[in-house]
Amino acid sequence: MSIHAPLILDIEGTSLNADDRRRLAHPLTGGMILFGRNWQSRAQLSDLCAEVKSIRPDLLIAVDHEGGRVQRFRTDGFTHLPPMRALGELWAQDAQGQPGSGVLKACEAATSAGFVLGSELRACGVDFSFTPVLDLDHGESGVIGDRAFARDPRVVSLLARSLMHGLLQAGMGNCGKHFPGHGAVKADSHVALPVDKRGLKTILADDAQPYRWLGSVLTAVMPAHVIYSKVDSRPAGFSPRWLQDILRRQLGFQGVVFTDDLSMAAARQMDGRTLSYAQAVITALEAGCDMALLCNRSTVNGGTELDEVLDALAEAQLKGHWMPSEISEERRLNLLPRSPARPWDELVRSSDYMQALDRLP
């Protein structure tokens, strides 16, 4: 039996079907990622998450829920959170005669955003959100844009730390993305493979600084689907150079490394060829990722591609072509919340929640 469940899978609808249950019960499945199509109401989401946990209590239920334009749940009481750029703009606003007041307000607002985000998700049974974005706003990337806090890595790091503190107050971990930085390239990695031609010294001194400064509080990191051509010919998520030599050894990161979505157009491009989904998963795990995300595949041909990946990974394990990692599994389990979540009705009446709402920009 596997001691490492590295796959994060998606489901098609607002409830589980027989194929969903079978895949989630598979010992190589470590979690489920939610999308807008899986949302109907808070009650429905809570029931869905409860059913997932009834199949495997250890499954990590995750979502991309950052605020701004990347927020999967927006109705039925969920707070419309601001884009992270709004926090960076607040940072720069000083009240008349009070230098630094904007910094304090921005940090308080970031902590409040993290607390509200994490508390609302957890009240519905969601364990984890892939946030915050640590990319710098170079003004180049449309796909990042206002998802970034600011251009200055110091501002990004301090606001991200504040947001992570709010998540921690809600009992939720965090995921810095997209390592070592996606903000300096124009191409959208959902549809093309961006290439960043800067050298390693420049990247480490600028875009990657938040990962150095936040190393003690980051619980997870997601690498970018970007090639940094002067460092490695492989995208960061397939690169032992980036993940093992730089992120793990040089920067000392000890948490979970997630792939970005391996169903994205750019995600499976390596060395001039397109990898199959199974090849991409195994290549990413061998490069140093702990967990691999396969999103939006349950809606295609009944999810047969997900079954093919599960079968291929099981066969690779059986033949010794891929070895499960006990350390990776321990890291995955550490992302699960360790305290009970407050029920929604109790949460929204609490003074700390109402105070947090008042501090949002």
- Give me the active site residues, please: 190, 260
| Segments in 74-131 forming alpha helices (H) | 84-91, 101-123
220 closest CA partner among 243, 238, 201: 243
- Residues 6 or more apart in contact with residue 185 via CB below 8 angstroms: 140, 141, 194, 195, 196, 226
232, 242 in Cβ contact below 8 A? yes
C-alpha 137: how far from chain center: 18
Q: Phi/psi at 227 (nearest 5 deg)?
A: -95, 125
Other C-beta atoms within 10 Å of 192: how many? 15
Q: How far apart are CA 86 and CA 68, in angstroms?
A: 9
Q: ω before 57 within 30° of 0 (cis)?
A: no
Residue 46 exposed, middle or buried by CB count within 10 Å (0-12, 13-18, 19+): middle
Give the Cα separation of 74 and 72 in Å (integer): 7
78-79-83-89 Cα dihedral, nearest 10 degrees: -170
CA 358 to chain CA centroid, Å, is: 26
Question: How many H helices and E strands in the chain?
Answer: 13, 14
- Dist CA 123 CA 282 (whole Å): 34
Sheet arrangement for strand 220-223: 176-179, 220-223, 256-257
DSSP for 142-171, please give it.
Answer: TTTGGGS--SSHHHHHHHHHHHHHHHHHTT
341 with 122: CB under 8 angstroms?
A: yes
Cβ atoms of 170 and 201 closer than 8 Å = no
